[in-house]
Amino acid sequence: MSTLQLRGIRKSFSNLEVIHGVDLDVDEGEFMVLVGPSGCGKSTMLRMIAGLETISNGELLINGTVVNDDPPVKRGIAMVFQNYALYPNMTVRQNMAFGLQQAKVPRQEIRRMVDEAARTLKIEQLLNRRPGQLSGGQSQRVAIGRAIVRNPGIFLFDEPLSNLDAELRVHMRVELSRLHSRLGKTMIYVTHDQVEAMTMADRIAVIHGGRVEQVGSPLDLYNKPANLFVAGFIGSPRMNMMAGPITSTSDGARLNVFSQAIPVPRSVNVAGLSEATVGIRPEHLEVVDTEDGDVTAVVTLSEQLGDETLIYCSPQDTEATWVIKRLGQYFIKAGARVGIRIPWNRAHVFDSQSGRAIWRAEKLASSERD
């Protein structure tokens, strides 16, 4: 098992810097997921860890040793690529044996190790096939098999499930989590799919614009997003947002949204802030009669998912679209006017300019009680 540390890692292509000084620690045996939108630099970071891209600045340490200039094979890593990258001219057995052959492992030993890895992944019957004769799921297993047969300290996965259909993706997600539990190896997994990140990770690093926005456990990120980006990115459907001005009164600061003046706790420093953004998860909003709601809204669409209903609406006749998630089957017509009850004790509030979280509303609720 191995540890990994990134210290002020930067990457530039010509004069364009795409990774802006990333610090990240990955513990022994940890399943770390790097998640972010397309083009955020997560794959570039993984490729730098793998040794496929040079590091422009900063230090990459594996087991405490700087490995910036080491070739991939000396880093004790194995990588599973998005398109599997199985050599089409070789059989599955030859694909899995390739890395061991490069390491000059004796032939008998290679055979034993390949057979063992194939048994682990239940792909013994595929060993004599060529990649062109495999389904997507089988190719995926073989690609993982090629990685585990080398017994690396760190596994790197670059969006390995994105080519699979929805059902197989769920299945392979479970398989990968089981594999991690069984092997207990350090794994770094890149994805743009936050569901994959939430379900598989021990910890998630949210990447945006070449920077780490927040690192934490899946529920930490969901419950305590550090900024607007993380709040919007983690959670599906995304968090509902509404900006409003902050005003000062003799009684302290007030955040004004939807004709309501919400008192800002005295412990929160809002000096110099003119505007804040309130965020509330779709499952925390309630649809009520118009006269009982904190705001009124016009329903624009409702989606029936069977076990839950997603209601899209425009609050207070604004252009904004909010999503409300209700468990069960709930029928409501487009164009209907409804009331929305906002549980302020579930709200997150962010500085609209910098995006950083100002406070979570449990504090607000308790301050109101005070």
Partner 1 sequence: MRSVTLPPDTPVARRLLSAMQVVHWRNTAVLIVLLVGAVLMLLPFFWMFATSMRPAGEAYQLPPSFLPDDIRLDSYHELFASPVPFLRMYWNSFVVAAVTTIGVIITSAMAAFAFSRTRFPGKNLLFASMLLGLMVPPALLLIPLFFGMASVGIVDSIWALILPAMTNPLAVFMMRQFMRSQPREYEESAFVDGASYWTIFWRISLPQMGPPIAALSIIVFTSSWNNFLLPLVFVRSFEAMTLPVGILSLESSFGGAALSIIMAAVTVAVLPLFVVFLIAQRFIIESIASTGVKK
Binding residues for partner 1, per CB under 8 A?
50-52, 71-73, 77-79, 81-89, 98-99, 102-103, 130-132, 136, 139, 146, 150, 163
Which residue number, 136 or 343, has a Cβ lying nearer to partner 1? 136
CA distance 177 to 222: 20
Which residue number, 130 or 211, has a Cβ lying nearer to partner 1? 130
Amino acid symbol at 120 = T
Which residue number, 77 or 127, has a Cβ lying nearer to partner 1? 77
Smallest separation (angstroms) from partner 1 to the CB of 59: 21
Question: Per-residue DSSP letters for 254-301?
Answer: EEEETTEEEEPPTTS--TT--EEEEEE-GGG-EEE-GGGSSEEEEEEE
Smallest separation (angstroms) from partner 1 to the CB of 131: 3
DSSP-assigned beta bridge partners for residue 33: 189, 204
Which residue number, 83 or 353, has a Cβ lying nearer to partner 1? 83
Place of tokens 């968090």: 239
Smallest separation (angstroms) from partner 1 to the CB of 149: 10
Smallest separation (angstroms) from partner 1 to the CB of 72: 4
The single-letter DSSP state of residue 8 is E
Read off the tokens for 71.
Answer: 């070739």
Q: CB within 8 A of 187, min separation 6: which ones?
A: 30, 31, 32, 154, 155, 156, 157, 180
Which residue number, 99 or 339, has a Cβ lying nearer to partner 1? 99
Smallest separation (angstroms) from partner 1 to the CB of 81: 4
Are the C-beta atoms of residues 296 and 370 closer than 8 Å to each other?
A: no
Which residue number, 58 or 136, has a Cβ lying nearer to partner 1? 136
Helix (H) or strand (E) holding 74: none
Read off the tokens for 317.
Answer: 């006749």
CA distance 34 to 276: 28
Which residue number, 5 or 82, has a Cβ lying nearer to partner 1? 82
Q: What are the b/e assignments for 179-201, b being 16+ CB within 10 Å?
A: bbeeeebbbbbbbbbbebbbebb
CA angle 255, 257, 260 (to 5 degrees): 80
Smallest separation (angstroms) from partner 1 to the CB of 101: 9
Place of tokens 């009164």: 249
The single-letter DSSP state of residue 150 is T
**Phi then psi dihedrals of residue 87, to 5 deg:** -70, 115
Smallest separation (angstroms) from partner 1 to the CB of 327: 37
Which residue number, 81 or 312, has a Cβ lying nearer to partner 1? 81
CA distance 199 to 12: 32
Which residue number, 5 or 163, has a Cβ lying nearer to partner 1? 163
Smallest separation (angstroms) from partner 1 to the CB of 133: 9
End-to-end Cα, the chain, rounded Å: 50
Amino acid symbol at 347 = A
Which residue number, 18 or 241, has a Cβ lying nearer to partner 1? 18
Smallest separation (angstroms) from partner 1 to the CB of 238: 30
Smallest separation (angstroms) from partner 1 to the CB of 13: 12
